[in-house]
Amino acid sequence: MIHRNWILAAVALGSGIVFLDGTIVNVALPRIVDELPATFVSTFEGQAYVASGYLAVLSALLILAGGLADVYGRRRIFAIGLVGFGVTSV
């Protein structure tokens, strides 16, 4: 039973990270607006393109990770993903 609790905790952690990762672009959006040309991102349409593009790339990478998990194992790819996310987030 303890093994199942660890699995549940790991999956909950991973799901929470994906949820936060999907909203992190909103935190970075003011800086992105400052860096890109004012004619593009200053409009709400430009900001929507930035957020949608980020989520589209995130979705594509999740699909790729699912395919890799089918080949190399879910546990291994999940661990690699968590470590990769942790390293690139710091």
Domain boundaries, the chain: 2-89
Predicted confidence (pLDDT) at residue 41 exceeds the cutoff of 70: no
Whole-model pTM: value is 0.68
CA atoms within 13 A on the CB side of 81: 24
73: left (phi over 0), alpha (psi -120 to 50) or beta: left
Predicted confidence (pLDDT) at residue 44 exceeds the cutoff of 90: no
